[in-house]
Amino acid sequence: MVKKPKLFLDMDNTLVDTLPILTAATEQAIEMGLEKPDQIPDIFRHLKPLPGALNGIKTLSKYYDLYILSTAPWFNASSWSNKMEWLNEYFGNDAQSPFYKHVIMTHDKGLARAEGGILIDDRPYHGAAKWDDASSGTAWIQYDYNKQMNWTADNGLMQLLIQTAQIYQVQSLSEREALIKASQAMNLSFHGSLEHFEKANWE
């Protein structure tokens, strides 16, 4: 059996359309006496998948061992269970799910780099940018930082990931080395400048 490369996925704003809902709930959070909208109970439960995300995961499961690597607001206990419920709703909760017992919740995503792999995350925070690390053989793809790095782009993210997996299996490179080789062949960069990243006004 051919060994698959490892691909870790953030949830919010990578698989789940989160930011517009939270931004729209800013006033509601203030009325409830909360500091941020991500502290509203159960606000994470009924969010919608990003366009193309479900089909993207179905395709990538053929090429990668998939893992969820996500954070949840510390002061919103429901957010942790909401994220599991969301995954169960859209991907199932049995061995047929690409994420069955492959879910990691942490406040420092850098801690999950021990065995290599690629992380897709829209933001550099909570340790995501630490994955851009040659010494550990890991890489960080910044979701949607440009028009090619999203699920529905032509000749973009999906093609980059498939080509990376194929190079990994044929040439016996690390996930990072395979990604770099694929990105060079496609003339793509896989994350933007950290100096100019802008947060939402409530973050």
Residues belonging to the active site: 10, 12
CA–CA dist 169, 133 (Å, integer): 21
Q: What is the dihedral of CA 88, 139, 117, 38, to 10 degrees?
A: -20
- 61 near 96, Cβ under 8 Å? no
Neighbours of 60 (CB within 10 A): 21
DSSP character at residue 111: G
For residue 139, the number of C-alpha atoms closer than 13 Å in the C-beta half-sphere is: 21
